[in-house]
Structure 1
Amino acid sequence: MKPAVVLSILGALAGCCFGSLVHAADDSNDTEHAEIQPKCFKQNYYINAAGDMRELHDCRIISGNINIKGYDSDSLDLGSISHIKGSLSVANASSLLRIEGVELSTIDGTFALDTLTSLTSISLPKLESIDTIQWKVLPILSAVNLDKGIKRINSVVMSDTSLTGFSGFNVESLKTLNINNNRFLERIDSSVKEITETLLIAANARNLQVSLSDLTWANTITIKDTSSLNLDSLQVVENSAQFINNRFSELKLPKLKSTGMTLSVINNKQVRTVEFPSLAEVGGGLMIIDNDQVNRVDFFPVLRAIGGAIEFQGNIETSSFKQLKVVKGSAIIKSTSTQFDCNKWMKEEVSGVVRGGKIECGSGASRSTEVLLVDESGDITTGTPGVNSGVADGDHAKQTLARSGSSGSRPSGVGFAAVLLGFGVSWLAMQL
């Protein structure tokens, strides 16, 4: 066959096959653009009436943000919308009772609900992909239908709702999990393995049970007002870990190896068992304060280094750190027990490991505290005795905050714990 004929045949085949692919691609693009009608293709929608919302009911894709404020109906129906490429925000709609979106599967931005005082139910049965849930001041919200299950989400903030349970978020990583002031919330379950910014759980139901059994890494942790806690897989806390005002009887972190900043166990009145069998390093301060049932601080068997100060208060009878090599701040204990031996603790337990701080000890047997001053080379001099009058609950925050300036290389963690005690976490949670 002549070369010219071969080229002619190849040209025909190319025109036939590849031409059809080009037309198919063009048809696909035409279809996509046809789905996004001009009215569905805006950067922002501002809606305050049911009629405004109905105009978008036949849009399958919304290209921008839907902002709903002061809505005038008791029902918000999202019609046929399946994909919102921006955010969905609903705020200050006192008449709104229900939010429904039977086709909605994806919100690329934030799903924000704020100050909806009559909202009782949300039904989004196909929703499975979203960047951020931010729900605040939904005081009678009690029913949420997310039947499909959320499979992609970055952050969750839920505050002041009437929800009784939190689950169904099947993701491995979150930036933020902030669940606070949900007075009927009795259970939090999540399979999340990593929280890269903030884990904060506080001021929910008195009998709240928290299970984050797969969590292995977290940046910052604050757990407050819970009755049971499962963090069995947690290995690393990059910054601070704080367990404050809880009602659980045991605090066990069997796999935790290190915290980058302060570790605080404060005012957990019912905790009897505390276990940190794998903890080798605390990058900031170590605070064990006013846990009424804890009278032995011997639950850090492999702890070798503390980057800030030690501060213990309460009915502590004994303290033991078998592997501790260095404390880069002060070591202070004020025990109400007459059985605590300050001489032994100061001379045998901590005098050889404190570098650049003071050692202060008071027990129930004395009204004054003994003080030793230790420089960075380990040389010790006797300091002026302090007052061992005890610290009333309401004064903990003020005195702890005042001490934080001389508590070692990382005072910020100590100060944060003091602020939590003095003012609670509600303000902090609402700012996140």
Structure 2
Amino acid sequence: MKFTTAFTIVGALSAWLANAADDNETDHSVTEIEPKCFKQNYYINAAGDMKDLHDCQIISGNIFVKGYDSDSLDLGSISHIKGSLSIANASSLLRIEGVELSTIDGTFALDTLTSLASISLPKLESIDTISWKVLPILSAVNLDKGIKHINSVVMSDTSLTGFSGFNVESLKVLNINNNRFLERIDSSVKEITDTLLITANARNLQVSLPELTWAHTITIKDTNNLNLDSLQVVENSAQFINNRFSDLKLPKLKSTGTTLSVINNKNVRTIEFPSLAEVGGGLMIIDNDLITKVDFFPVLRAIGGAIEFHGNIDASGFKQLKVVKGSAIIKSTSAEFDCNKWIKEEVSNVVRGGKIECGSGSSRSTEVLLVDESGDITKGTPGVNSGVAEQDKSKKTVVKSGTSVSYKVGFSAIVTGLAMSWLAIHL
């Protein structure tokens, strides 16, 4: 009885081991990667080169497509590219399709594809970097699954009308530039660890980054509407230049590591920085035509560089400012700005190690005071009130132009008169 039982157990164990071996063989055959799918680099020049890889689910290395000779690039059954996908200088290429592609471990680079009109990657959700440049007629992108993991986005010179579908909390780079039809940028990103750059897109561009709380460097240009309502810290510089928005409101911004610049925003009427306590570098408010009072920094205490204000500014006010570690310069074209008051009551007690310079109204010169690090003040050589100087230059140009026209008219009249006299004598 005991022997029989033991024999039965040994037999069952042998059968189990045999089945397990069969299962292992089956699994091995399923997961085996064909040699053609396992290379460091693939160079694709023709449709036939790509078809050779259609039955690969995993590509082990980088795919380089250059000078491609067909109007369609089909990635077949490829679901995972463990390197980068780079497609460049293929003037015949109209569309890119990859119905199974879900992951690109490296960069998805598209460069100088002048006929590319559409991209369809409905399952793509993980990628390191998107770098799309010089795609002048690209207008349709299908990323139905939505990108859930990505580090950097660079998108330049496309015909896309909207940017969205990137549901990530952190990006290294968000660089969207020269997309002339791009009307919306929407993202739920919470931090940008390197660069946020938006410039030279559609004139009516709406930018909405309502959850962004931290960024390293920000440059916003040529934008019609901007939402940065949650932004609290800019580690480096923040620049808002040549925009068309009427309001610039950063209600939660507490500090910038270096310069804060608001320059040449011709339509801006309202600027609000109610929480900004420290600017690590310079503070520049320059040529914002509708801003007449610089009084939108109610809790600003420290400026690590220079103050520089230009424009039609009537007044300024810094109730909490304690130190400016650089110069304080204002060049106003408004006759209402009181340089004496500004120097004595607002900046002479806070500037350390720079100069104080002020010009206002129609005066072409500015008053200059030099301040050392201890706060001692000496009088400096007067400077130039650049705003007024530019106005004078424009007037002189107009007068010069008018004089030139008058000269030409007078000369023509003399020539005509001489000709008439010659005809009268000789006829």
TM-score for both structures, normalised by structure 2? 0.87
Q: Which residue of 1 aligns with 2:231?
A: 234
2:180 match = 183
Q: Secondary structure at the match of 1:360?
A: strand
- Cα shift at 1:24: 5.6
2:92 and 2:364 map into 1 onto residues whose CA distance is 62
Relative to structure 1, the CA distance from residue 301 to residue 18 in structure 2 (aligned partners, 3 Å threshold; closer, same or farther) is farther
Q: CA deviation at 1:31?
A: 2.9
Whole-Å Cα distance in 2 between the matches of residues 328 and 106 of structure 1? Answer: 50
Counterpart of 1:309, as a letter, is A
Distance 1:335 1:287 in 2: 13
**Pairing 1:154–2:151 present:** yes
Structure 1 runs of 4+ off > 3 angstroms? Answer: 7-30
Shift of 1:257: 0.3
**Cα offsets for 1:79-123 (capped at 9, x unmatched):** 111111100000000000010111111111100000000000001
CA pair 262-16 structure 1, distance change in 2 beyond 3 A: farther
**Identity across matched positions, percent:** 83
1:284 matched to 2:281? The reply is yes
Give per-residue Cα distances to partners, 1:247-268, cap 9 Å, x unaligned: 0000000000000000000000
Residue number in structure 2 paired with 1:211: 208
Code of the residue aligned with 2:56 in structure 1: it is: C
Identify the range of structure 1 (366-375 vs 354-363) with the bigger mean alpha-carbon deviation: 366-375
**What is the TM-score normalised by the length of structure 1?**
0.86
Deviates more, 1:299-308 or 1:363-372: 363-372
**Distance verdict in 2 for CA 1:266–1:8, change over 3 Å:** farther
Task: Find the counterpart in structure 2 of residue 31 from structure 1.
Answer: 30
Match of 2:41 among 40, 44, 61: 44
Equivalent residue number for residue 419 of structure 2:
none
The reply on whether 1:249 has 2:246 as its aligned counterpart is: yes
Cα separation, 2, equivalents of 1:11 and 1:280: 79
C-alpha change, 1:23 and 1:392, in structure 2 (3 Å) is farther
1:306 to 298, 303, 308: 303
**What is the alpha-carbon distance in structure 1 between the residues aligned to residue 278 and residue 17 of structure 2?**
64
Which residue of 133, 154, 173 maps to 1:136?
133
Instruction: Please say if 1:275 is aligned against 2:272.
Output: yes
**How far off is 1:368 after superposition?**
1.2
**What is the correspondence of 1:1-400 to structure 2 with a 5 Å cutoff?**
28-33=27-32, 36-390=33-387, 392=390
Deviation at 1:25, TM superposition (A): 6.4
- 8 Å Cα contact 2:331-2:386 kept in structure 1: no
Q: Is this contact kept in 1: 2:219–2:239, CA < 8 A?
A: yes
Q: In 2 relative to 1, CA 349–26 (structure 1 residues): closer, same or farther, beyond 3 Å? A: farther
In the alignment, residue 97 of structure 1 is paired with which amino acid?
Answer: L
Amino acid at match of 2:379: T
Q: For residues 362-387 of structure 1, give each alpha carbon's deviation from its aligned partner in whole angstroms, at most 9, with x where no partner exists.
A: 00142210111100011111111112
CA 1:81–1:257 in 2, change beyond 3 Å: closer, same or farther?
A: same
Structure 2: where are the runs of 5+ without partners?
A: 394-427
User: Closer, same or farther in 2 for the Cα pair 1:17/1:385, shift >3 Å?
Assistant: farther
Q: 1:11 to 1:342 in 2, by over 3 A?
A: farther
Query: How far apart, in 2, do the equivalents of 1:124 and 1:137 lie?
Result: 20
Higher CA-based Rg: 2
Partners in 1 of 2:150 and 2:364 — Cα distance? 55
Q: Distance in 1 between matches of 2:347 and 2:13?
A: 83
Contact 2:122 2:145 in 1 (8 A): yes
**1:30 Cα deviation (Å)?**
4.7
Q: Which residue of 1 aligns with 2:410?
A: none
Q: Secondary structure at the match of 1:39?
A: helix
Query: Structure 1 residues 316 and 63 mapped into 2: Cα distance closer, same or farther (>3 Å)?
Result: same
What is the identity, as a one-letter code, of the residue corresponding to 2:231? L
Unaligned segments of structure 1, at least 5 residues = 396-432
Deviation at 1:18, TM superposition (A): 9.2
Q: Paired residues, what number?
A: 389
Distance 1:12 1:303 in 2: 84
User: Which amino acid letter does the alignment assign opposite residue 249 of structure 1?
Assistant: S
Once the two structures are superposed, the pairs formed by residues 412-423 of structure 1 within 5 Å of their partners are: none
CA distance in structure 2 between the partners assigned to 1:322 and 1:18 by the alignment: 83
Which fold has the larger relative contact order, with Cα–Cα distance below 8 Å and residues 6 or more apart in sequence?
1
Secondary structure, counterpart of 2:341 in structure 1: helix
**Residue 32 (structure 1) shift:** 2.1
SS at match of 1:255: coil
